[in-house]
Structure 1
Amino acid sequence: MVKVVILGASGGIGQPLSLLLKLNEKVTDLALYDIVNSPGVAADLSHINTPAKVTGYLPPNDGLKNALTGAHTIIIPAGIPRKPNMTRDDLFKTNAGIVRDLAIGISQHAPNAFILVISNPVNSTVPIVAEVLKKHNVFNPKKLFGVTTLDVVRASTFVGEVTGHDSRDIRVPVVGGHSGITIIPLLSKASPPHSFSQAQIDALTNRIQYGGDEVVKAKEGAGSATLSMAQAGARFANAILNASVKGEAGIIEQSYVHLDADEDGGKQLKPKIDGLDYFSSSVELGINGVTKIHQLEDLTPHEESLLKAAIPELRGNINKGIAFIREDPKL
């Protein structure tokens, strides 16, 4: 039995994400939790003729506990969306508290589950979850992931538009973090290889880093990147399920992880990133989560400059998340 839990299932990301997971035949039990509307979303999805049983939970009557109990994989899109002129960091104050409370529930009721964090700002919310798990003595860095897959999806799409190749066949590693200048597209490692002009590199890098702003502006204040984020979240969840449930080997995705997830790989990577504990890296997945963190090798001078610019921002984001929990009187 494979139980997947979506925390924040009634929101702009949560609903399409729930639909995509209902269509994933590896899922046998889909539990939806939110502060409103989740039973209705569950009832709607339950009419789709795929194997997953769908249940919806609200906070009363131990709803969070019942949703989480027995979870294999937990996906967290909960929180408020970005609005025009709002950065991901502006979301911190509200979303940090939401993620903290959900992480407390996970530590108590599903400490061994895979945890996939979508809630922004991911650079800070993943450390928040980790610190909560540490306080409950259940932190397993191999099973905690910040979902940065949308940056990878965007890179494939935008490179396809420039090169004329089918974007489904394009892979561009995107490392670093999940906001603005912390997003580092490694265009020199695009597959299939392509020779870009410096003007193309600059334009693509900027668009990949700030693609979310493009959506927020186009929606004119009515929302942020919800549908594309749902697809990216479902894609990463499917990779986790393929590795952990089906036992498929050689699955490599980019994800924002604690570098203790691969002690040897993390130690090798840390000097390159000025000792950061969290970084979006190419990680190899296995039945127990992260099996290997791949190194940053043969970067171009341009990519080195992007890395140098990202590190101070990432450090500030990470420290902000850690401080939020360490200074929290509730914990």
Structure 2
Amino acid sequence: MKGTMLRSVQASLRRGPNASSSPSSFRLLCRDYSSESAPNRKVAVLGAAGGIGQPLALLMKLNPLVSNLALYDIAGTPGVAADVGHINTRSQVAGYMGEDQLAQALEGSDVVIIPAGVPRKPGMTRDDLFNINAGIVKSLCTAIAKYCPNALVNMISNPVNSTVPIAAEIFKKAGTYDEKKLFGVTTLDVVRAKTFYAGKANVPVAGVNVPVVGGHAGITILPLFSQATPEANNLSDEDIKALTKRTQDGGTEVVEAKAGKGSATLSMAYAGAIFADACLKGLNGVPDVVECSFVQSSITELPFFASKVKLGKNGVEEIMGLGLLSDYEKQGLESLKPELKASIEKGIKYANQS
């Protein structure tokens, strides 16, 4: 029974919720890799002993595309690595703790996932998060630029709308910035939009796709339900507005439900694992891997924007357009721009003055 469950989870991770072309959240892509044929890939998780980091470490251990899993945090990682390392899957696991071991954790990494930082608590704004997490991100990205400058960097640490620009500026200062290799992980917004849409439309969630564009906080999160598949004719304009609001407030919903004892850690770990899996598939040459992500972009006047991107051997292969928007979505797009612009500028300012 346990073996069957493990194989099921592994199979799920080998399949990705392709944001544009797959009719199923877990449909196999055109080409896939077994653990025997996949090239060696090192994945580093920075913040691996935290609320997101631990379940993310577990999910990455289950991914057959990972051959070397490096778990890093300021404390507690040897225990997490020992625990996860007992799982009978392909990857070799090592735990690294403290600044003096960060270089070893990063060297040779193909993908670096950053869930490090403090989580949201009741009453905490994303500005509050910024004051703590910005410094953590700056320090980690300085090390990435030095020890694995060619890695794909998956930024989970909030507020993503500011931490991604911070990372970009740090990499620019180090002379290592490659806009194709820096991603803000917005996959949780897509996961939520799919779940909420499927429930309201009464359709199987496995077949649902919903692009989510903009940013990764509050009104900057813009799910494009007009482009959702399968199309649901039974949803009113009020339903769409309610679904949009719930998607935007999904993080707050979890924080309040946990009554001060946590934030969206498990669903975020799942979303982070899905996006990292997509990055690995792209690196390995799997065709047509498409996910939504917050990246440097020119599809709007803003320097960073989340939209569907095609992933390839060098990271971002193509940034896809927004497609046809409903009047409600057009209004939402214009409404989000000032807030997203301010968050981006805040990150850039922080990186350049500190």
Aligned to 2:147: 109
Partner SS for 1:242: helix
**Are 2:286 and 1:296 aligned?**
no
**Count of residues in Structure 1 that have an aligned counterpart in Structure 2:** 314
**Are 2:225 and 1:199 aligned?**
no
Normalization by structure 1: what TM-score?
A: 0.94
Deviation at 1:149, TM superposition (A): 0.1
Which residue among 98, 122, 126 is the counterpart of 2:136? 98
Aligned to 1:309: 335
Partner SS for 2:262: coil
The 4+ residue runs of structure 1 with deviation greater than 3 A are: none
How large is the Cα RMSD of the aligned pairs?
0.8
Aligned to 1:148: 186
Greater relative contact order structure (CA < 8 Å, 6+ sep): 2
Q: 1:219 is aligned with what amino acid?
A: K
CA separation in 1, counterparts of 2:84 and 2:188?
24
Aligned to 1:125: 163
Aligned to 2:28: none
Which residue among 245, 253, 256 is the counterpart of 1:217? 256
Deviation at 1:283, TM superposition (A): 0.5
Deviation at 1:160, TM superposition (A): 1.0
* CA displacement 1:83-134 (0-9 Å, x = unmatched): 0121223200000000000000000000000000000000000001100000
* CA displacement 1:224-276 (0-9 Å, x = unmatched): 0000000000000001111112x1111111000012xxxxxx3xx23xxxx21
Partner SS for 1:207: helix
CA separation in 2, counterparts of 1:104 and 1:210?
32
Partner SS for 2:256: helix
Partner SS for 1:84: coil
Where does structure 1 lack aligned partners over 5 or more consecutive residues?
A: 260-265
CA separation in 2, counterparts of 1:139 and 1:55?
27
**1:28-47 correspondence to structure 2 within 5 Å:** 28-47=67-86
CA separation in 1, counterparts of 2:157 and 2:262?
14
**Are 2:80 and 1:54 aligned?**
no
Aligned to 1:318: 344
Aligned to 2:126: 88
CA separation in 1, counterparts of 2:310 and 2:198?
25
CA separation in 2, counterparts of 1:113 and 1:311?
30
Normalization by structure 2: what TM-score?
A: 0.88
Where does structure 2 lack aligned partners over 5 or more consecutive residues?
A: 1-39
Q: 1:70 is aligned with what amino acid?
A: G
Deviation at 1:169, TM superposition (A): 1.2
Deviation at 1:36, TM superposition (A): 0.7
Q: 2:45 is aligned with what amino acid?
A: I
CA separation in 1, counterparts of 2:325 and 2:202?
25
